[in-house]
Chain A
Amino acid sequence: MSQYYIGILILVCINLLAVLGLSLMTGFTGLFNFGQAGFLAVGAYTATILTTRYSVPFAAALLAGMITSALTSFVIGYPTLRLKGDYFAIATLGFAEAVRLLVENLEKITGGSRGIPRIPTLTNLPVALAAAVVALILVANYVRSRHGRSCVAIREDELAAESIGVNSFRYKQIVFAINAMLAGLAGGLLAHYIGFIQPSMFSIIKSTELIVMVIFGGMHSLTGAVFAALVLTSMPELLRAAQAWRLVVYGALVVLIMVVRPEGLMGSWELTPANVKALFVKSRPAQEEG
């Protein structure tokens, strides 16, 4: 496999990490997060500063990025997770912009808008792939647990969830923290893949790109998240030959999905052996009726 395709695959894995967190948080728990780039930035800058200035081992730096990001989510979440509806989404939007401006202005620590160059490129395919696969397994386990069901219950009807004894504030904090850790890890890996970071990489455009992946793949489906991360990350790259038109095609595709299938490509369908089997079994009674 050529270096180019390996590179795309690494980006797919990194995006998948950030999308899995968002899928759990936005898709399954119903908490809209338009500030994912803020958590990527926290993870990226924490890990990068540790590896470049303090020669901290890569794994430890990534972990530190995840923890910092999770702590940030608690600080942001504590006052805002009690807000109803759109207010929380707006708070995340504001948070990400605040992080970006902070990074731009703390020049001594972050290099300001010029960014941090010459980051050791320690992220390779095995590392990125392992991170993505482990994250996918953990999130899939979570979604199918009693805790995952409680999260979906909160999305479906928060009042009803509370009335059966679900502590919605606590669950929101938990999924927000899991999301922040995954995004922090994605940020750390991204910085050490590209070898350079600057604040403009973590703008609202990045947040939007990630949330679009969740919506595109299907809000209630991890299979959809994986598929969307794969397609929407690699497509702009593979369409590079078409130059000017590639973003138009990308945009048109997303619009098309929203019009034709508003619940996203996969809806709430998951790729499990039982569901695949059901696909084939289902066609039989339909024939009888026909």
Chain B
Amino acid sequence: MSLLEIQRLTKDFGGVRAVDKFSYKLEVGALNAIIGPNGAGKTTIFNLITGIYDPTEGHIFFGDDEITGTITYQIAAKGIARTFQNIRLFSDFSVLDNVRTACHRYASYTIWEGLIPTPRRRREEKALAKRAWRLLELVGLADRAHEMSKNLPYGHQRRLEIARALAQEPTLLLLDEPAAGMNPDETVQLMDFIEQIHDSFDLTILLIEHHMEVVMGLADDIVVIDFGRTIARGTPEEVQANPVVIEAYLGAEEG
């Protein structure tokens, strides 16, 4: 069964077509990747899925629901979580509060109880904190729980952003260039981490990458896009050997 289905998705910015009739199916439990040179339209696809942009044309289905044009926060409520290419943490929050804020849907106390605490609020806040701590332990950030997130090393910030996404207990996790700005060591660690959460959280993961090597050992299935169009799809080995892909990458580097 496909968890995410994209049909002929198109996005124009003025005269520029960033995404051109992109169709895609993501199976439940997959760990897939979309790769492509810079400016190929990868992040635009994520922004279209998560409702940050409205598509010019096309449809997006999540499970049985059509989610085309749904507002961002409602997309999150449906079970799609994401990270950003340029890390977007709540930098003035502690590590714990970053995760705790993302757990907010697991408490149900009202605005009035926000003003006047009730036993329910106390109970639910305790549960939220417990939930956040458990997650921090799973991702190995518990010993830094009270540090300001902006003071974390870069690699840990990435990890925290993923933890924050996991705090929503999503069914689909979208990772936007998780290895951007990382050195090879950090990248290897991160790839292990992604594999580990994929297995232990029962997740479907779709990740975007610019560098092909990063996803080779990780993804089951890779789609290559260039200028908003799909130019190849297959296993890492197939994609790597595809002359069209090589041309897109080399051409982009020369150009």
Contacts and interface: CB of A to CB of B under 8 A. Distances in A.
A161 B165 CA distance: 11
B16 interface: no
B115 A165 contact: no
A206 interface: no
B174 to A, nearest CB: 9
Contacts of B100: 149
Nearest to A139: B115
Contact of B90 (A138, A156, A220, A268): A156
Contacts of B73: 162-163, 165-168
A163 B81 CA distance: 7
Interface residues of B, number: 40
A160 B125 contact: no
Interface-centre pick from A156, A159, A220 (highest chain B CB count, 10 A): A156
A152 B92 contact: yes
B101 A153 contact: yes
Given A138-B116, A162-B72, A162-B76, A146 B92 contact: no
B107 A146 contact: yes
Interface-centre pick from B71, B89, B111 (highest chain A CB count, 10 A): B111
A163 B175 CA distance: 12
A174 B101 CA distance: 18
Contacts of B113: 145
A147 interface: yes
B102 interface: yes
Given A145-B114, A165-B76, A160 B104 contact: no
Interface string B103-132: 011010101011111000100110010000
Given A156-B90, A157-B89, A157-B90, A164 B101 contact: yes
Contact of B88 (A149, A159, A165, A268): A159
A268 B52 contact: no
Contact of B77 (A141, A153, A165, A174): A165
A142 B110 CA distance: 11
A133 B92 CA distance: 27
A150 interface: yes
A148 interface: yes
A182 to B, nearest CB: 12
A143 to B, nearest CB: 9
Interface residues of A, number: 26
Contact of A149 (B72, B84, B97, B115): B97
B90 A153 contact: yes
Contacts of A220: 92
B115 A164 contact: no
B133 interface: no
B164 interface: yes
Contacts of B90: 152-153, 156-157, 160-161
B43 interface: no
A165 B93 contact: no
Nearest to A170: B73
A168 B125 CA distance: 21
A141 B116 contact: yes
29 contacts: A141-B115, A142-B115, A145-B115, A145-B125, A146-B107, A146-B109, A146-B125, A147-B111, A149-B97, A149-B101, A150-B101, A152-B101, A153-B93, A156-B89, A156-B91, A156-B92, A156-B93, A157-B89, A159-B88, A160-B89, A162-B76, A164-B165, A164-B167, A165-B74, A165-B77, A165-B102, A166-B101, A166-B104, A220-B92
Q: Which 8 residue pairs are nearest across A and B when measured between Cβ atoms?
A: A165-B76, A145-B114, A156-B90, A162-B72, A160-B88, A147-B114, A164-B102, A138-B115
Interface of B: 50, 52, 71-77, 81-82, 84, 88-93, 97, 100-102, 104-105, 107, 109, 111, 113-117, 121, 124-125, 128, 164-165, 167-168
Interface of A: 138, 141-142, 145-150, 152-153, 156-157, 159-168, 174, 220, 268
